[in-house]
């Protein structure tokens, strides 16, 4: 593996931790050190490690065989659970990652509209080959990208009006995760919906990270129905998973019985273990009450850190919404990638300090809370950050 790595995000100097066990909200590394997990596998670990309901669902499915090469009973259960939670999803198809889900959603929009342009927003991360941090990644597919500024409602509406004849889709994260956990203004997101509807351009909500913030994701919280929605992470129970769905007139093109059907293959699209784990998590574990509790813990952490820094005049700010939290070294509001300070040395020092204190999170300042966490862990994490800032 180049540099001993097969996933760029988890590399960290001088060397990454090697984790050998996870249980609940705790991780144990190869040297026996234990950490409270505040990373939550970048939102895929919402249920924590080895949740008994998820483990039992996998065990039961495993007993029936894992590579059946045919429809199985678990995929229908998961499809029903997804469509029930997301009213904008009439029909859904499964794949293997958020990257794949977003590629398929955009490719569907291009096929249906006959157009090739896609409006994205600076700082967006829609997958390993759909990366728009400080420009367009050279690994991205050669679509005709139009890049707007996140949270600039007027600018986005203008771009949609100007490029409507070439746009196959507008894709947006309701909260930009990798850019710094930056919430989208409700006005900005509603303007996107209005402008795309007015111009006949499909709107894609990338809810790969944000679907955890309510039973029906951010679209439910905001009262917005996109044309297409992409999901991944925890929705598959913590296993490799992706999904895309939306309006029947769009998704219906994948019906194999149609003469104009679009083909969508994938050996592991309906992987038995993933389907079983995902269905168990959505139907037996993740309730509205648990989502509200976890969002409250995120608010508690964010509010405490912001109050501490503000009262002492420290250049530090916590961003996010609900159980998604970002950490930044600035006093200024953060509304887009351009507002995020680099502060690489401070970020690295804080991260190492927190590891020493027994807390693991994303080295760029990314936090995704998991269900096993409680107030004691939140307050302990906050106290450790405050110690660093003092």
**Domains of the chain, start order:** 2-50+287-389 (3.90.1150.10), 52-285 (3.40.640.10)
Of the pLDDT bands very low, low, confident and very high (cuts 50, 70, 90), residue 9 is confident
Three-state helix/strand/coil letters over 95-136 = ECCHHHHHHHHHHHHHHHHCCCEEEEECCCECCCCCECCCCC
The torsion defined by the Cα of 259, 232, 327 and 176, in degrees rounded to 10, comes to 10
CA distance 192 to 185: 11
pLDDT of 16 above 90: no
Residue with tokens 């007015």: 198
Q: What is the pLDDT of residue 283?
A: 98
Of the pLDDT bands very low, low, confident and very high (cuts 50, 70, 90), residue 109 is very high
Active-site residue among 37, 206, 271, 339? 206
Find the mean pLDDT for residues 324-343: 97
Sort 94 into a burial class: Cβ within 10 Å, 0-12 / 13-18 / 19+: buried
**Before 240, cis peptide (omega within 30)?**
no
CA distance 147 to 134: 11
Pair 278, 284: CB distance under 8 Å: no
pLDDT of 15 above 90: no
42 in catalytic set: no
What percentage of the chain has pLDDT greater than the value 70? 100
Q: Model pTM?
A: 0.96
150 in catalytic set: no
Active-site residue among 37, 233, 308, 339? 233
Segment 71-101, tens digit of pLDDT: 999 999 999 999 999 999 999 999 999 999 9
pLDDT of 153 above 90: yes
Segment 263-314, tens digit of pLDDT: 999 999 999 999 999 999 999 999 999 999 999 999 999 999 999 999 999 9
Q: What is the pLDDT of residue 5?
A: 85
pLDDT of 170 above 90: yes
Segment 214-253, tens digit of pLDDT: 999 999 999 999 999 999 999 999 999 999 999 999 999 9
Compute the half-sphere exposure of residue 198: CA atoms within 13 Å on the CB side of its CA.
13
Compute the half-sphere exposure of residue 332: CA atoms within 13 Å on the CB side of its CA.
8
Active-site residue among 125, 150, 308, 359? 125
Through-space distance between the first and last CA atoms of the chain, rounded to whole angstroms: 40
Q: What is the pLDDT of residue 258?
A: 97
Helix boundaries (H) for 225-374? 248-251, 272-280, 288-312, 344-356
206 in catalytic set: yes
């Amino acid at each position: 593996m180049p540099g001993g790595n097969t996933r760029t995000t988890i590399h960290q100097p001088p060397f990454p931790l090697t984790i050998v066990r996870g249980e609940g909200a705790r991780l144990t590394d190869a040297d026996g050190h234990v950490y409270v997990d505040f990373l939550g596998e970048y939102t895929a670990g919402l249920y924590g490690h080895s949740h008994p309901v998820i483990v039992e669902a996998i065990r039961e499915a495993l007993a029936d065989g894992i590579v059946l090469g045919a429809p199985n009973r678990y995929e229908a259960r998961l499809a029903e659970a997804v469509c029930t939670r997301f009213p904008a999803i009439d029909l859904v198809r499964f794949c293997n990652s958020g990257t794949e889900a977003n590629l398929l959603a955009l490719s569907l929009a291009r096929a249906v509209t006959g157009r090739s342009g896609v409006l994205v927003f600076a700082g967006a991360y829609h997958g390993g080959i759909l990366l728009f941090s400080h420009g367009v990644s050279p690994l991205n597919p050669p679509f005709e990208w139009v890049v707007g500024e996140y949270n600039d409602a007027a600018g986005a509406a203008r771009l949609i009006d100007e490029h409507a004849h070439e746009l196959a889709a507008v894709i947006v994260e309701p909260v930009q995760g990798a850019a710094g956990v930056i919430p989208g203004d409700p006005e900005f997101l509603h303007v996107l919906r209005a402008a795309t509807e007015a111009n006949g351009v499909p709107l894609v909500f990338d809810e790969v990270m944000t679907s955890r913030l309510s039973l029906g994701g951010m679209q439910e919280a905001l009262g917005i129905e996109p044309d297409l929605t992409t999901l991944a992470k925890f929705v598959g129970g913590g296993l490799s998973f992706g999904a895309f769905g939306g309006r029947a007139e769009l998704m219906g093109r994948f019906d194999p019985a149609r003469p104009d059907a679009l083909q969508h293959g994938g050996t592991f699209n309906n992987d038995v273990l993933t389907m079983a784990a995902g269905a168990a998590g959505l139907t037996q574990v993740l309730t509205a009450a648990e989502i509200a509790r976890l969002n409250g813990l995120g608010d508690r952490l964010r509010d405490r850190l912001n109050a501490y820094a503000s009262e002492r005049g420290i250049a530090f700010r916590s961003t996010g919404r609900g159980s998604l939290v970002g950490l930044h070294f600035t006093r200024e509001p953060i509304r887009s990638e351009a507002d995020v300070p680099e502060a690489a040395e401070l970020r690295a020092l804080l991260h190492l300090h927190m590891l020493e204190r027994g807390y693991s999170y994303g080295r760029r300042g990314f936090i995704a809370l998991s269900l096993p966490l409680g107030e004691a862990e939140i307050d302990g994490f906050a106290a450790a950050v405050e110690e660093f800032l003092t």
